[in-house]
Chain A
Amino acid sequence: GDSVTQMEGPVTLSEEAFLTINCTYTATGYPSLFWYVQYPGEGLQLLLKATKADDKGSNKGFEATYRKETTSFHLEKGSVQVSDSAVYFCALSDLTGNQFYFGTGTSLTVIP
């Protein structure tokens, strides 16, 4: 069945460092891919999404490119800030299976 695998955390970075959080997926159809962010004590918020191969989603300095050949949707940011400390979830939705799947989340802490 469909699934999402993302890198395990926690990840700790210094402010202004480069961030990559890996996400790979397995899907039988042509999924849409998402990154959500969860700040402490809050619900998940959509960060960015891509609906077809080679699409790039971007928001708040974060980017992710839908790579069908490597079945990946890695999240990147060139210079992280303390305010980016949160848990990040990769997710996919699959029209074929009519389902939405979440990864287990990656905790990011950015230190000054």
Chain B
Amino acid sequence: DAGITQSPRHKVTETGTPVTLRCHQTENHRYMYWYRQDPGHGLRLIHYSYGVKDTDKGEVSDGYSVSRSKTEDFLLTLESATSSQTSVYFCAISIGGVTDTQYFGPGTRLTVL
């Protein structure tokens, strides 16, 4: 158990509203990731972080921003949610680097109406 929690677990929001998802880990691991999971696409990397205030873009970063002001928290923000951002969002951590085994949180199901 990598001690990863995500909040909220479910959220329904309207188009155009801002949304922030939180990922919290208890082990102070350096590397954290945000993915989205959609049918037919598997998991796609949105953003990742390799330390406090150190973040980088992934494959599908448009429309998303992240922040990491503390080691244990990695926030994903949708500045103005769109229906195409309806998805299940997973946070993950790794211990040894970007290519090390990744451990996942339970996910957040987001619906944008």
Contact = CB atoms under 8 A, between A and B. Distances in A.
Contacts of A43: 4, 90, 104-107
Contacts, number: 42
B99 A32 contact: yes
Residue from B43, B45, B103 with most neighbouring chain A CB atoms (10 Å): B43
Contact of A99 (B99, B103, B104, B107): B99
Contacts of A93: 98-100
Nearest to A89: B42
A44 interface: yes
A92 B104 CA distance: 16
B90 A100 contact: no
Given A43-B106, A43-B107, A104 B42 contact: yes
Contact of B41 (A49, A99, A104): A104
- Chain B interface residue bracket vs A: 10 to 19
A89 B99 CA distance: 16
Residue from B42, B90, B102, B104 with most neighbouring chain A CB atoms (10 Å): B42
B10 to A, nearest CB: 11
- Chain A interface residue bracket vs B: 20 to 34
Interface of B: 4, 40-43, 45, 90, 92, 98-107
Interface of A: 32, 34, 36, 42-46, 49, 89, 93-95, 98-100, 102-105
Kindly list the 10 A-B residue pairs having the minimum CB-CB distance in the complex, ordered from nearest: A43-B104, A93-B99, A104-B42, A102-B43, A44-B104, A102-B42, A43-B106, A98-B98, A43-B107, A95-B99
